[in-house]
Amino acid sequence: MNLLEQIEGFVSEHLPHDTRGWCQQYTRPKIVHDALWGTFQLEAHEVALLDTPLLQRLRFLHQTGAVYLTYPSAHHTRFEHTLGVVCQSGRLCEAIQRSTPDEKRIDTAFRDNVRFAALLHDTGHGPFSHTSEQFYASLEVMEAFRRENADLEDSGAGEILSYLIVRSRPMQDFIRAINELHKRSLNPELIGQLITGTVDETKIFMSEIVHGPFDADKLDYMPRDGMFSGLKMHVDLDRLYYSIRIKSADFQGERQTRIAGHVSGLSPLTQIMFNKMLLFTGMYHHHKVRAVDCMLWAIFHLARERKRKLGGIVLDSPVDFLRITDDRLLVPELSDDNEIVDLLKSIRERRLWKKALVIARNTLPAKMHSDHEGGERPLFVGVARLAGNEKSKVDERRNIAKQIWEKAGKPCKEIEVWLDVPKLPGMTEAKKMWIEAPGQEEPQTLEHFIPVDKWVELYGTHQSRAHVFAPAEACAKIGAAAKDVFREQFGLEFLREATAFAKS
């Protein structure tokens, strides 16, 4: 079965069989109370979709994966995030309609399709969200699908699955029933394109609400991740909504219509970019978060390699990842492999791997720093280029971890030694967002006003850290061996701090 056929099977199992009967039950809107955005309303046809098993499974996917093992209150899920994105996409529609009253394209059908895209945008997520996504993205079936569908080459693996879910025959039947019974104009093809940002040039501004540089997704996940992790961050969305509008302009030789911000409303955009950096420092690149991610990668790796069960099923294809949720994945009894069971128990009991070696600016002598004059920049040669989720990079890191494990005298299982090299924060939003300034015919992009490239450079210099992780009892031997391997292979020297950090 190809990917589309597998998706059709999955969607069919997660939507009601009597579509018309199901949709007929929903005749009234629903009021939602959200901890972040307060009270807002869903239309009856939106509730009909929300109540399906396809959307309800999002209640069992943590929004920030296993971050709750580091920040105990970060238990928010993809479900409430989805509701938040619907809320914010509705508010974005209202904001651009208010600022561009002559724009006739923002009608009921426009809003309905945008909000439905918001509801469906995360349905392609698997267990522990981006952790499993990064894993199944490198599976051959997904790489082949990307090669054959050039339009979707830039899309994330989860986005592609969401797109296929929306375009599947069972979903088309469901949407047709809603259109007939609720007198709507929902278009599955358009909704899929809104999710992946693959609309034609006449609908860029519409897509930007769901898939753009400052889309409803970002406007929800940043404050939500911050709020539920306890990392305080603020974005003045009211100010943002009063400083955006739809603008048509000649840009880089093309006539385009996009959402543009005004130079007077730069501060909320700056807050968003700054918060994103903060989320990387405090959450996504936190060493405990990275350690659990590596443990989950080890579990996926073993399950795939040995074709053993995880969450009760064998993970043959990306679609199989949609059949397990966070809660099922962590049940040891649903796996038939002893090493996987041990790893699952370690996560459940929070016996996380520790830092055996830290590779960072403050653990390397100054001559190894990238800003040191001359030399071959061993930090780059040895470490920076190992970042990434491509299969070749993963294999290279596994190979180095294996060498470390052997040199250390195999003090633990091979799968328990992991080299982690996080990617730098991607901040290309600033290259994409139009900013209008008085007296300028052609809009400029946000990067002309906020030095994001410089921020990322500083992040890389001062915050970026690679780690070798191992179980606590093996850390001393693995740390010492890792120093030797990096010295022999990459010419790296280390300060005492490189392994001293391992105690924390």
Partner 1 sequence: MAVTMEHSAVDVLLATLHEVGRDVRLMDDFALAKVFNDAAKQYGGLFKQFAWHRHYHVSDVLSESLQVLDHAGSIVRENAAQTYFRVSPHTAGPYGEKVFNSFGDHERGLVKKVAAEIRKAFEAQSESSGAN
Binding site for partner 1 (CB under 8 A): 153-154, 197, 201, 204, 252, 256, 369-372, 374-377, 379-382, 384-385, 387-388, 390, 392-393, 396, 423-424, 426, 428, 431-432, 451, 453-454, 456-457, 460-461, 464, 488-491
Q: How far apart are CA 342 and CA 240, in angstroms?
A: 48
Q: Which residues have CB under 8 Å from 333's CB, separation 6+?
A: none
Is there a contact between 116 and 46 (Cβ–Cβ < 8 Å)? yes
- In whole angstroms, how close is the CB of 425 to partner 1 at the nearest point? 8
Of 258, 266, 255, 222, give the one whose Cα is nearest residue 96: 258
Give the shortest CB-55-to-partner 1 separation in angstroms: 29
In angstroms, what is the minimal distance from the CB of 387 to partner 1?
Answer: 7
Judged by CB, which is closer to partner 1: 374, or 438?
A: 374
**Residue 226 or 422 with smaller CB distance to partner 1:** 422
Kindly tell me which of 177 and 199 has the beta carbon lying closer to partner 1. Answer: 199
SS3 468: strand
Instruction: Name residue 261's beta-bridge partners.
Output: 244, 435
- In whole angstroms, what is the distance from residue 414 CA to residue 74 CA? 31
Residues contacting residue 253 through CB under 8 Å, at least 6 positions apart: none
Could you give the dihedral angle defined by the CA atoms of residues 390, 392, 397 and 402, in that order, rounded to the nearest 10 degrees? 140
CB of 393 to partner 1, least distance (A): 7
Q: How many other CB atoms are found less than 10 A from the CB of residue 65?
A: 22
222-248 as b/e, with b when 16 or more CB fall inside 10 Å? bbbbbbbbebebebebeebbbbbbbbe
The smaller minimum CB distance to partner 1, of residues 262 and 397, is found at 397
CB of 343 to partner 1, least distance (A): 28
Select 196 or 325, whichever has its Cβ closest to partner 1. Answer: 196
Nearest residue (CB) to partner 1, 381 versus 480 = 381
Q: Are residues 298 and 418 in contact, defined by beta-carbon separation less than 8 angstroms?
A: yes
Tokens representing 59 are 């209640």
Residues 6+ apart with CB under 8 A from 503: none
Q: Least distance in Å: CB of 262 to partner 1?
A: 19
- Residue 332 is given by DSSP the state G
What's the CA gap between 309 and 193, in Å, rounded?
34
For 62, which DSSP code?
B
Separation of alpha carbons 381 and 490, rounded Å: 7
Q: Smallest distance from the beta carbon of 199 to partner 1, in angstroms?
A: 8
Closer by beta carbon to partner 1, 305 or else 373: 373
In one-letter notation, the amino acid at residue 373 is: E
Measured from the CB of residue 481, what is the shortest distance to partner 1 in angstroms? 16
Q: What is the 3-state secondary structure (H, E, C) of 174-214?
A: HHHHHHHHHCCCCCHHHHHHHHHCCCCHHHHHHHHHHCCCC
| Residue 369 or 413 having the CB closest to partner 1 | 369
Q: How far is the CB of 123 from partner 1 (least distance, A)?
A: 23
Q: Which is nearer to partner 1, 267 or 399 (CB)?
A: 399
Nearer to partner 1, 252 or 504 (CB): 252
Q: Are 119 and 199 in contact (CB under 8 A)?
A: no
Choice between 332 and 460, CB closer to partner 1: 460
State the minimum distance, in angstroms, from the CB of residue 453 to partner 1. Answer: 7
Q: Which two tokens stand for residue 400?
A: 């180095």
Helix axes 216-229, 266-279, angle to 10 degrees: 50
Min dist. Cβ of residue 419 to partner 1 (A):
14
Nearest one of 9, 310, 342, 334 to 131, comparing CA atoms? 310
**Are residues 272 and 235 in contact, defined by beta-carbon separation less than 8 angstroms?**
yes
- Min dist. Cβ of residue 342 to partner 1 (A): 32
Nearer to partner 1, 58 or 206 (CB): 206
Residue closer to partner 1 (CB basis): 351 or 377: 377
Smallest distance from partner 1 to CB 283, Å: 20
